[in-house]
C-alpha cells in the first residue's frame, strides 16, 4: 500500500472515531460573555473615571497629544493615528471623541472648522483640521513623575492608568454615556464657580454648584437633586419680542441645536398647536432665530406655547455615575467636587515632595562639588592607579568637610565628582557656588513651607488657575424659577367646534351644522340640554350629548368666575327652582342632572356668565285655576352662588309658560386680586409675590421701565415683563406720573408730569439722546425730592433743597420735554415721602367672594360673552337663534 493511501485510511479512521469533546451549552456561554462584554463597555468605553474625569478614549487622545506636543499644531488625522497605538478601535470613534473634547473649549486649542454646537454642523475631515494642547491643559493634566502607567492593549507601549488632573475636569466638561444596563449623564458646570467651590471646600465652608451650559439659555434647577438619579433640570431658550409681529430666539437649550429647534417649531405649527407665519435662521457666531407671527396674535402667549409644545423647553435628567476602583459609583456633584479637591491636594503634595527631593539632591551635589574643588581633593587621586583607589582617596578627602550634609555620601556621588571637567574646575567661582547653594536652601525652605501649609498652597493654586484662565468664562446660563405653563391655556385654537342642537351632536366634523367657537384638540367642552342635564366631554369629530342642546362652550377646569343662571322644572310635574352655580370640575362623559334625578325635568331659562353677571327676568305662568299673580320679576343677584349639586330656591309650584329676559346683568363678583411674582416675572392669582391690587374687567396695569418706556396692559397671566421694570402697579387714568430724567443733549436734569394718553401704545418719557436716562419716577399725587448739589471748587457745600414736584410743574403731555430742574450741577436726587393726599372714594363691588383661576381679558373672544337662553314651554322643539350675546328659544 502506498504512503498516500495509508494517510487517507488514517484520516478516515479518525473521522469514524466517536468524539470525546465536552458539550458546552450556549446559555452558559452567553451568560459569561454578556457579563464580560457589559463590564468592558462600562469600564473601558462609556463611563468616566472619577480620578481624572476621562473615558479611556479621551485619556488616550490627551496622552497622544502630549507625546506629539512641540508647541505647534498637529493634524488631527496624525493625532488620531498616534492614538490608535493606545486605543483598540477605529479612527472614526477617536476622531469624534476628539472633536467633542475640542468643542468644550477647555483642553484643546483648535484650528480649522471644528463644527458648531449651536447649529449642529459637523467638523471638517480630520485631515483638514489641526489641534494642540491648550496652556490650561498642559498645566493641569500632565506630570509623568506622579503618573501610574500600564501596558497598552498590545503591550508595545505604556499608557497612563489615570492622568494626574489637578482640577474638577469632570464637572467642568460634563459627561454622557450609555453602557450595558448602565448610563451616566453629568451636566457641565461653570469654570469659575467650580474653582470657588473647591476653595470653599478646602476652607471648610459649605458650597453649592449648579449646571452652566455652553449654549446659554435659562435653567430651573429647583429639582436638580445634586445631579443624582431622580433629579431634573428644565432648560429654556431665551427669547424676546422686538415688536408685536415677531419673536427672536437668542439662546437655545442645552442638548438642542438651531436645526432641531426649528424642526420642533415647524411640527408644532403643522399640528396647529402654535401659529406662525414664517421662521428664519440667521445664526452665525450667535443664535438668532426670527419667528414671524400672523397679525393679531399675542407674542406673550405664543412664547408660552413655544415653551409648552416645542424644544424651546427641554427637561434633562442628570445621573451621576463614575468609575472608582473598577466599579460603577453613583455619586452627586457635590461629592464629586469634594473628591476632586482632595485628590488635587494629594497630587500637589506628591509633586512638592518629588520637587523637594530633587532640590535637596541638587543642594547635596552642589555642596559636594564646592568641597571637592575648594579643598583641591581632586589632587589626591593623581597617584592612584585603580578605580577603587580613586574612590577611596576622594572619600577620605571629603570626610573632614561633610558634617553639615543631610545624607551620607554614596559611591554614585563620588563617581559624579570624577566627571567634573578640568575646565569647570579651573573656572570655579566660590562666591557663585555659595550663591547657588543659598538659593537652593531658600527653595528648600519654600517647598517645606508649602508642605507644612498644604491646604493654603492648594487654595493659592486654584486662585492662580482662576486668575490665569478664568477670564471670559463667566456663567452663560441664567438660573431662575420657571412658572408652570398649562398647555390648554396657551395652545392655539386650531379647529372649529359645531353643534347640531336638535339631534344632540357636537364635534369638529359637523361643518354643515351651527358653528360654536374655535377650539383646540386638547380642549374639553361643556354642554347643557333642555332636559336639564349637563356633561363635559373631550373635543372629538362627533360626540352624542343628548337631544335639544341649549349651551355648548369650551370648559375651563377650576373656573369659578363663570356662573350659570338657571330656572328649571324638577321632574315632569315637579316645582320650579332657580339657582346660580359654577362648574369647576366634573367626571368626563358623565351626565349630571340639574336637580334630582327624576325624568322629565325641563329648563325654562339658562344663561352662562363669564364674570358672574346677574340679570333680571320676568316669570310668566299659565292661566289656570285660581292663580291671581301670573307674572313677576326675579333678580338673579338676589340668589346666592352655590355648588352645581344644589337644588336651588323655589320659584313656583305652578306651571311656567315662559321666562323673558327683562334687564341685562352686571357682574356680582368681587374684583380679582392680582399678584406679581418677582422670582418668575409673572402675574398670578395664587397669592404669590406682591399684591398689585383688585382689578375689574376694564382695569389695566401701568408699566414703566428703566429705559424710560411707559405703557399700560391688560393684566393677563400670560403677560411677560422685562427685568428693568421700575414701576408695576394698577393704572389709575387720572393719576399723574412724575419723572425726573437726565437730558443727554443739554447735560442737565429735567422734570415732567404727565398722564398716559393712549393706553394701547407704549411711549418713551425721556429724550432719544444716547446719554439720557431716567433718574426718578413717582406715581404719587404730591411727590417730593431732595436735591444734593455738587460742591463748587473753593466754596462750601450748598444746603440740600427740598422740592414739591406738584407745585414745581403742572401736568403736561407725555411727549413734552418738561422743565429744567436746576441750572447747577446735581450730585444726587433723593425721593422723599409724598405730601398727604386723599383720592376720590371708589364704589366697592358687591362682596361675593369667588376664588380666581386665571385673569380674563375683557376683550376675549365670543366664549367670554354672556349666553342667555329662554325656553318657551309652549314650543316642544325650540327654534334656536345663536347670534351673539343672547339667544332666545
State the catalytic residues. Answer: 128
**What are residue 621's DSSP bridge partners?**
656
**Three cell numbers at 279?**
421662521
Enumerate residues 6+ apart whose C-beta is below 8 A from 232. Answer: 223, 224, 225, 315, 316, 317
CA gap 235, 315 in Å, rounded:
6
Please say whether the beta carbons of 653 and 635 come within 8 A: no
CA gap 871, 848 in Å, rounded:
29
CA angle 624, 627, 632 (to 5 degrees): 110
Cα–chain center distance at 743? 39
CA gap 661, 236 in Å, rounded:
51
Alpha helix locations (H) across 375-429? 387-398, 411-418, 422-426
Longest dimension (CA), the chain: 158
Per DSSP, the three-state class of 2 is: coil
> Of 832, 820, 819, nearest to 754 (Cα)?
819
**What are residue 614's DSSP bridge partners?**
666
**Three cell numbers at 615?**
340679570
CA gap 112, 122 in Å, rounded:
12
Enumerate residues 6+ apart whose C-beta is below 8 A from 772. Answer: 708, 741, 742, 743, 744, 745, 766
**Three cell numbers at 782?**
404730591
CA gap 824, 27 in Å, rounded:
95
Q: Are strands 886-888 and 867-870 parallel, antiparallel or unpaired?
A: parallel
Element (H, E) at 241: strand 238-243
CA gap 668, 849 in Å, rounded:
9
CA gap 243, 380 in Å, rounded:
96
CA gap 60, 81 in Å, rounded:
11
Q: What is the 3-state secondary structure (H, E, C) of 752-766?
A: EEECCCCCCCCEECC
Please say whether the beta carbons of 801 and 787 come within 8 A: yes
> Of 196, 198, 224, 199, nearest to 210 (Cα)?
224
Taking residue 38's Cβ as centre, other Cβ atoms within 10 Å add up to 14
Torsion angle of C-alpha atoms 868, 873, 878, 884, degrees rounded to 10: -10
- Backbone torsions φ then ψ of 357, nearest 5 degrees: -60, -45
**What are residue 553's DSSP bridge partners?**
526
Q: Exposed/middle/buried for 18, CB within 10 Å: 0-12, 13-18, 19+?
A: exposed
Amino acid at each position: 500500500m502506498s504512503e498516500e493511501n495509508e494517510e487517507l485510511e488514517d484520516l478516515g479512521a479518525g473521522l469514524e472515531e466517536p468524539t470525546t469533546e465536552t458539550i458546552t451549552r450556549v446559555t452558559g456561554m452567553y451568560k459569561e460573555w454578556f457579563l464580560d462584554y457589559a463590564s468592558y463597555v462600562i469600564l473601558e468605553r462609556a463611563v468616566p473615571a472619577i480620578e481624572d474625569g476621562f473615558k479611556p478614549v479621551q485619556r488616550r487622545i490627551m496622552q497622544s497629544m502630549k507625546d506629539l506636543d512641540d508647541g505647534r499644531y498637529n493634524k488631527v488625522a496624525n493625532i488620531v493615528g498616534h492614538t490608535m497605538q493606545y486605543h483598540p478601535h477605529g479612527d472614526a470613534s477617536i476622531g469624534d471623541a476628539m472633536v467633542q473634547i475640542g468643542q468644550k473649549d477647555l483642553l484643546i486649542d483648535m484650528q480649522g472648522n471644528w463644527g458648531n454646537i449651536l447649529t449642529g454642523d459637523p467638523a471638517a475631515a480630520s485631515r483638514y483640521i489641526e489641534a494642540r494642547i491648550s496652556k490650561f491643559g498642559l498645566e493641569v493634566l500632565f506630570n509623568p513623575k506622579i503618573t501610574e502607567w500600564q501596558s497598552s492593549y498590545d503591550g508595545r507601549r505604556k499608557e497612563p492608568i489615570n492622568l494626574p488632573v489637578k482640577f474638577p475636569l469632570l464637572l467642568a466638561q460634563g459627561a454622557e454615556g450609555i453602557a450595558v444596563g448602565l448610563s451616566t449623564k453629568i451636566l457641565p458646570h461653570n469654570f469659575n464657580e467650580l474653582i470657588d467651590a473647591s476653595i470653599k471646600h478646602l476652607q471648610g465652608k459649605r458650597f453649592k454648584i449648579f449646571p452652566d451650559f455652553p449654549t446659554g439659555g435659562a435653567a430651573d434647577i429647583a429639582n436638580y437633586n445634586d445631579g443624582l438619579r431622580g433629579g431634573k433640570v428644565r432648560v429654556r431658550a431665551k427669547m424676546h419680542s422686538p415688536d408685536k409681529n415677531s419673536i427672536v430666539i437668542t439662546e437655545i437649550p442645552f442638548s438642542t441645536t438651531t436645526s432641531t429647534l426649528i424642526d420642533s417649531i415647524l411640527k408644532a405649527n403643522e399640528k396647529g398647536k402654535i401659529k406662525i407665519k414664517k421662521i428664519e435662521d440667521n445664526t452665525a457666531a450667535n443664535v438668532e432665530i426670527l419667528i414671524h407671527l400672523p397679525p393679531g396674535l399675542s407674542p406673550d402667549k405664543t412664547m408660552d406655547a413655544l415653551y409648552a409644545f416645542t424644544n424651546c423647553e427641554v427637561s434633562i435628567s442628570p445621573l451621576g455615575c463614575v468609575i472608582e476602583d473598577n466599579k460603577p459609583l453613583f455619586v452627586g456633584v457635590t461629592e464629586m467636587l469634594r473628591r476632586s479637591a482632595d485628590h488635587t491636594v494629594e497630587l500637589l503634595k506628591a509633586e512638592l515632595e518629588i520637587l523637594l527631593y530633587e532640590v535637596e539632591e541638587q543642594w547635596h551635589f552642589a555642596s559636594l562639588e564646592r568641597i571637592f574643588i575648594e579643598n583641591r581633593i581632586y589632587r589626591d587621586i593623581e597617584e592612584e592607579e585603580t578605580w577603587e583607589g580613586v574612590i577611596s582617596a576622594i572619600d577620605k578627602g571629603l570626610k573632614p568637610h561633610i558634617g553639615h550634609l543631610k545624607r551620607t555620601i554614596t559611591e554614585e556621588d563620588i563617581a559624579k565628582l570624577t566627571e567634573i571637567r578640568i575646565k569647570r574646575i579651573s573656572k570655579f567661582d566660590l562666591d557663585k557656588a555659595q550663591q547657588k547653594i543659598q538659593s537652593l536652601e531658600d527653595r528648600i525652605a519654600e517647598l517645606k513651607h508649602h508642605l507644612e501649609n498644604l491646604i493654603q498652597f492648594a487654595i493659592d493654586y486654584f486662585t492662580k488657575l482662576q486668575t490665569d484662565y478664568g477670564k471670559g468664562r463667566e456663567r452663560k446660563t441664567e438660573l431662575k424659577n420657571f412658572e408652570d405653563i398649562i398647555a390648554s391655556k396657551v395652545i392655539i385654537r386650531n379647529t372649529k367646534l359645531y353643534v347640531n342642537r336638535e339631534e344632540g351632536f357636537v364635534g369638529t366634523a359637523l361643518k354643515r351644522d351651527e358653528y360654536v367657537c374655535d377650539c383646540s384638540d386638547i380642549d374639553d367642552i361643556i354642554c347643557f340640554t333642555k332636559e336639564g342635564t349637563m356633561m363635559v366631554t373631550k373635543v372629538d369629530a362627533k360626540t352624542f350629548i343628548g337631544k335639544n342642546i341649549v349651551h355648548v362652550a369650551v370648559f375651563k377646569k377650576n373656573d369659578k368666575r363663570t356662573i350659570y343662571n338657571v330656572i328649571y322644572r324638577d321632574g315632569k310635574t315637579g316645582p320650579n327652582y332657580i339657582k346660580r352655580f359654577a362648574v369647576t370640575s366634573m367626571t368626563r362623559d358623565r351626565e349630571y342632572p340639574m336637580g334630582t334625578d327624576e325624568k322629565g325635568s325641563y329648563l325654562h331659562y339658562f344663561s352662562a356668565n363669564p364674570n358672574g353677571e346677574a340679570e333680571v327676568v320676568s316669570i310668566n305662568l299659565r292661566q289656570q285655576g285660581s292663580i291671581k299673580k301670573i307674572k313677576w320679576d326675579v333678580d338673579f343677584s338676589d340668589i346666592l352662588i352655590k355648588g352645581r349639586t344644589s337644588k336651588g330656591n323655589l320659584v313656583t309650584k305652578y306651571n311656567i309658560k315662559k321666562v323673558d329676559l327683562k334687564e341685562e346683568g352686571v357682574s356680582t363678583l368681587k374684583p380679582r386680586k392680582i399678584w406679581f411674582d418677582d422670582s418668575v416675572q409673572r402675574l398670578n392669582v395664587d397669592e404669590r409675590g406682591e399684591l398689585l391690587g383688585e382689578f375689574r374687567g376694564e382695569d389695566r396695569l401701568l408699566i414703566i421701565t428703566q429705559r424710560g418706556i411707559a405703557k399700560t396692559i391688560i393684566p393677563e397671566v400670560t403677560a411677560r415683563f422685562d427685568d428693568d421694570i421700575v414701576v408695576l402697579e394698577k393704572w389709575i387714568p387720572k393719576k399723574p406720573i412724575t419723572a425726573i430724567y437726565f437730558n443727554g443733549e443739554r447735560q442737565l436734569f429735567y422734570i415732567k408730569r404727565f398722564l398716559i394718553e393712549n393706553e394701547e401704545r407704549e411711549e418713551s418719557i425721556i429724550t432719544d439722546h444716547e446719554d439720557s436716562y431716567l433718574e426718578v419716577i413717582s406715581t404719587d399725587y404730591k411727590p417730593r425730592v431732595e436735591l444734593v448739589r455738587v460742591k463748587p471748587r473753593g466754596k462750601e457745600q450748598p444746603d440740600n433743597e427740598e422740592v414739591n414736584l406738584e407745585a414745581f410743574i403742572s401736568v403736561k403731555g407725555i411727549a413734552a420735554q418738561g422743565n429744567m430742574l436746576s441750572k447747577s450741577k446735581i450730585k444726587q436726587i433723593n425721593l422723599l415721602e409724598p405730601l398727604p393726599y386723599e383720592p376720590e372714594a371708589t364704589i366697592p363691588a358687591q362682596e361675593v367672594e369667588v376664588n380666581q383661576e386665571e385673569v380674563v381679558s375683557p376683550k376675549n373672544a365670543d366664549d367670554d360673552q354672556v349666553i342667555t337662553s329662554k325656553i318657551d314651554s309652549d314650543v316642544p322643539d325650540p327654534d334656536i337663534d345663536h347670534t351673539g350675546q343672547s339667544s332666545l328659544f
